[in-house]
Amino acid sequence: MPRLTPEASAFDMQAALKGVAIDRARSIGPQIYDALRSRIIDNRFPPGTALSEKEVARICDISRTPLRAAIQDLAGEGLIIVKPQVGSVVAPHDAARVREAIFIRAAIEAAIARRLAETGVDEAALAPVLAAQKAAGERDDYLTFFRYDEQFHSMLARMAEVPNAWQMVQSVKAHIDRQRLLLMSSITGRSMRAYEDHVKLIEAISRGDASAAAAVMRDHVNSALETLEAGAQGP
């Protein structure tokens, strides 16, 4: 089992779960899954954090049955490590999973870009999202940019009429996002560079250049790996 990191050893579960509001009119399992997953991705639950079922259930005022199901689902994604009779901890960052996730995402999203170049894209619908990205980029607010980035890529998949393709991407990209949010928020100008990639992508799609659109998307997705590897090497 991974050792507790210094950050995890000083971890405040109550603070990390602040804002979790369970809607009793809806299924509890998916809600607690989303709450835990988002906190792993944005590093409110650092790698090595021990997840006490008893404590999480108490704070969120839920039973342990849906919580266990959520933990098992997160374990299946490689975000949590479960040791029977011992407990669960947030998994460490995994470079191999990040590389694999970027490989999968680049392949799927390049295909989406190619298809949109052939079928067209609703630029009017994308305009507000791109404007919000630009505003976040100008403020160097990577966390806000990240939310609009997710919306942008999801919209492209829907416009290509392959929304489940984005769901497939989501199933693997959490490993990318954990490190993106940890590292890229500290890189000046990274949001604007991503925004500029999006503009180039829409330009290629709009002129019907499928090869260029696919290439821009591949380079855009792969740039995350280049940045993460540079960050891992340090100055």
pLDDT surpassing 60 at residue 3: no
Q: How many of the other CB atoms lie within 10 Å of CB of 61? A: 10
In DSSP terms, 81 is beta-bridged to 89
pLDDT, tens digit, 9 for 90 and up, residues 8-23? 556 799 999 999 999 9
Q: Record the pTM.
A: 0.82
Note whether 155 and 121 are within 8 A (CB).
Answer: no
Residue 140, helix vs strand vs coil: coil
SS3 content of the chain, % helix, strand, coil (to 5): 70, 5, 25
β-sheet with 80-83: strand ranges across: 50-51, 87-90, 80-83
Q: What are the residue ranges of CATH 1.20.120.530 in the chain?
A: 95-233
Q: Give me 8's structure tokens.
A: 């995890």
* Nearest of 186, 121, 185 to residue 153 by alpha carbon: 121
Q: What are the residue ranges of CATH 1.10.10.10 in the chain?
A: 6-90
Q: Give me 210's structure tokens.
A: 């499928």
pLDDT surpassing 60 at residue 70: yes
Percent of the chain with pLDDT strictly greater than 90: 72
What b/e readout covers 108-141, taking b as 16+ CB neighbours within 10 angstroms?
bbbebbbbbbeeebeeeebeebbebbbebbeeee
Query: What integer pLDDT is reported at residue 187 of this predicted model?
Result: 74
pLDDT confidence bin for 180, thresholds 50/70/90: confident
Fold that domain 95-233 belongs to in CATH: Four Helix Bundle (Hemerythrin (Met), subunit A) (1.20.120)
Look at the block and give the residue holding tokens 């298809």.
115
Fold that domain 6-90 belongs to in CATH: Arc Repressor Mutant, subunit A (1.10.10)
pLDDT surpassing 60 at residue 96: yes
Q: Give the highest mean pLDDT range of 71-85, 119-133, 161-175, 218-232.
A: 119-133
The DSSP string of 167-200 is HHHHHHHHHHHHHHHHHGGGSTTHHHHHHHHHHH
